Amino acid sequence: MTSEPPAPGGVSLVVDSAATLPDQALASPNLHVAPMSLTLAGRTYLDGEDVSPSEFYRMLRRAPSPPTTSAPSPAAFLHAYRRAARGASSILCLTVSASVSASHDSATVAARLAADALPGVDVRVLDSESAAGGQGLATLEALRAARAGAGLEKAACVALRAIARVRLLAFPDTLYYLWKSGRVPVVAHAGSALVGVKPIFELYRGTVSTVARPRTLNRATRRLVELMRERAGEGPISACVMHADAEDAAQKLRAEVEAAFECEQMFVAQFAPVMGAHIGPGLLGVAFLGG
């Protein structure tokens, strides 16, 4: 993907920092990020600006209590829209799933403000119904369309088709962080029976569900790939392997995915801190877009 400025009259993309994207995409002048906020050990950081994922996960391992997170404010989204409008007359914003964050609401409020603040600029906000690499893959599809000259409606249609197909599967290294955050009873429904278990969670169309409960890293990795086979269908896939300070495990998962599927696109990246904050270091997962 090249890095020339967007053509006048073209489309720029805006995402919140929950999206997991390759560095090349993040460097594109067509893409702008509204950062989420993280508060850890009494200090607040802008995700991706004040702290890198690696730094955050190192701090998280030492922190006495789980962090808190917050969606970008409408002002933060409006600021991102202003940057995006410098080289384009239309803006497509893809937010993390509205089922897990207020980011979509903030982006929508900012779009209404942009009608006055950015006259002549069309802004459309879509709920990705996903997060992390799932949100990232849908964004990449729209970004490619925009770079190829698609208008706002075409880019939005491309994104919506991806949103309908993208899935995310992931499992934590430990349930400690979910337990401390109070989320285990909500998403796992198994109480003390989950000790030693690495439950595999699926995020699809805005709904989180528990789809397997293997008990070791190797079994969880194999089961994750099996679940991908059941869901991906025939043909090539695009995939993003994600990890929270677990590079070795992520590279092993990447090798297993590449051995099992024809991958048109594959990248490995860290979960954004706002995604790993409540699940903890060691989190491993894959988002994929099949036919």
Boundaries of every domain in the chain: 11-36+71-164, 167-289
> At residue 218, does pLDDT exceed 70?
yes
> Of 183, 201, 244, which Cα lies nearest the Cα of 52?
244
* CATH 3.40.50.10440, domain 11-36+71-164, yes or no: yes
pLDDT 10s digits, 128-146: 999 999 999 999 999 999 9
User: With DSSP H G I counted as helix, E B as strand and the rest as coil, what are the percentages for the chain, rounded to 5?
Assistant: 40, 25, 35
Q: What are phi and psi of 118, to 5 degrees?
A: -130, 70
Would you place residue 187 in the very low, low, confident or very high pLDDT band (cuts 50, 70, 90)?
very low
Q: d(Cα 67, Cα 58) in Å, to the nearest integer?
A: 13
Residue 64 pLDDT: 84
Q: What are phi and psi of 192, to 5 degrees?
A: -65, -20
Higher-confidence residue: 7 or 59?
59
Would you place residue 183 in the very low, low, confident or very high pLDDT band (cuts 50, 70, 90)?
low
Would you place residue 92 in the very low, low, confident or very high pLDDT band (cuts 50, 70, 90)?
very high
- Which pTM was predicted? 0.92
Query: Which of the four CATH numbers 3.40.50.2300, 3.10.20.30, 3.30.70.3450, 3.30.1180.10 does domain 167-289 have?
Result: 3.30.1180.10
Q: What are phi and psi of 62, to 5 degrees?
A: -100, -10
For residue 200, give both structure tokens.
């595999």
> Of 19, 232, 240, which Cα lies nearest the Cα of 127?
19
Q: Find the mean pLDDT for residues 205-213.
A: 94
Average pLDDT, the chain: 90
For residue 4, give both structure tokens.
């020339």
Q: What are phi and psi of 186, to 5 degrees?
A: -75, -45
Would you place residue 178 in the very low, low, confident or very high pLDDT band (cuts 50, 70, 90)?
confident
> At residue 180, does pLDDT exceed 80?
no
